Structure 1
């Protein structure tokens, strides 16, 4: 079972958390560009997964995470749930504040 970090704490991707059902539609996965070696094989170093239920919080979360994890060291992937399956989606547009 895949554990993810959310605003409320940790939950699995099916949305079970403290006997409540959440319907998550957006997912952000942060991967380090450095590979991890384990028993003569290379693996991606997944830093974290963050779930969001609506587009507004997804955009706010992406904005915070993109400031924290820069593009030179980390790769940020975004996914959207369509018909009970996860698909990669375009990154939300962020306004640059001057």
Structure 2
């Protein structure tokens, strides 16, 4: 699969990134190397190979859940830069 500069520019547009021509050329080179590596991996014969669920035999130890005291609303709001009686006030992010 060939990665073109046009493809890189399209991906940048979809990602809402602004890149210049030099960056686009570098990204094209890097992406082409990644695609070539993946194509090379697809040629490897994996017949009879069991899929791995974990890369090591070590098991993860999980801690037991413990109930602890939580902050009261007053304590939680005490250091907030802006709040009313019950809620944090934050700037509007999404406008209707």
Shorter-normalised TM range: under 0.3
Larger RCO (alpha carbons 8 Å, 6+ apart):
1
TM-score (norm 2): 0.21
Bigger strand fraction: 1
TM-score (norm 1): 0.20
Structure number, greater radius of gyration: 2
